[in-house]
Amino acid sequence: MGTAIFMVLMVCGYWYSSRDLSTRFKFKRTFGWDVYFLVALYGCIFVIQGVIATAIIWLLLLVISAVMNELPQYFGTGHHHYHIEFMNWSFLGIQAPVVIMLTFAVLFCLYRSNWAGSARLDGCSRRELYNSLTRTNGVEHLLYQCMEGGELAWITLTSRRIYIGMIMSSSFDSVDANNVVVIPMLSGYRDSKTLDLVVEHNYSAWYAKHDITLTSEPQSALDFRKVILLDQIESLSLFDPASALALNMREDSD
């Protein structure tokens, strides 16, 4: 019986943590023993809910038995004790209350994972969820801001390579393959002596010259996207062309 409870607890915890959006973010950013404790935590919640639901059934049977015993003219003179029979009832060698408790736990898990309102978020609610979840991580929140507002990002790699462009998507699901997909507008490198930006490729001028957009055919700006591993990024910031130009002119005048 203890093994059955433990198995249902862990399965429910894993099922919920791998499907609920907010929990899935925490689950994929958790490593080592913390993963097991996180799964066990949500599994315990569903099992406790199953215990509470089973206790409610027992209380209902207790009330029904008491009412029937108080009204022998309607229900007979025999002593009714359905709540005791419920506790002693067995199913396949396991006490029925345990089976009912585990069934409730599974049903609560399926409901919270598939049919609850949090599992069926619309586009606006999903964006609000991502916004609130990424606030705890500076890199993720900045990338979300770039994707949501269409702002340009300045990405400096550990090799001193620089990309300035639009963030198309980002992935934080894997430790070894976390990446950022960027549609470049400018690319270059930092001078080894002055650390100034040296532009090598002006993608935005190429796009304008050949009428390339995000939806153009047969070639679009998506064909020029760059996938950059997160561990190769040294710094990340928003890029405002007007501010960058004004700052550069001020430095030249000084």
Residue pLDDT, tens place only, 83-126: 777 777 776 667 778 888 888 998 988 888 776 555 555 556 55
CA distances from 30 to 39, 67, 132, 166 (A): 11, 52, 18, 29
Distance separating alpha carbons of residues 51 and 54, to the nearest angstrom = 5
Which segments of the chain are extended strands (E)?
A: 90-91, 94-95, 152-157, 161-171, 179-190, 197-202, 226-229, 233-239
Task: Summarize the confidence of residues 72-87 as an average pLDDT.
Answer: 73
State whether residue 4 is helix, strand or coil: helix
Distance separating alpha carbons of residues 135 and 191, to the nearest angstrom = 34
Q: Where in the chain are the domains?
A: 2-119, 125-253
Distance separating alpha carbons of residues 39 and 10, to the nearest angstrom = 6
- Quick one: 208 exposed, middle or buried, by C-beta within 10 A (0-12, 13-18, 19+)? exposed
The tokens of 140 are what? Answer: 């993720």
Highest mean pLDDT among 17-31, 40-54, 180-194: 40-54
Decide: 214 and 204 in contact? Cβ < 8 Å. no
| Domain with residues 125-253, CATH architecture | Roll (2.30)
Supply the Cα-derived Rg of the chain in whole angstroms.
Answer: 30
Task: Summarize the confidence of residues 50-56 as an average pLDDT.
Answer: 91
Distance separating alpha carbons of residues 184 and 203, to the nearest angstrom = 6
Distance separating alpha carbons of residues 206 and 222, to the nearest angstrom = 13
Q: Each residue of 173-230: pLDDT tens digit?
A: 555 667 888 899 888 887 777 767 788 888 888 888 888 888 888 888 888 888 888 8
> Strand 179-190 relative to strand 161-171: parallel, antiparallel, unpaired?
antiparallel
The tokens of 82 are what? Answer: 């359905």
Residue 130 has pLDDT above 80, yes or no: no
Q: Residue 160: what pLDDT?
A: 83
Decide: 69 and 61 in contact? Cβ < 8 Å. no
Q: Residue 48: what pLDDT?
A: 92
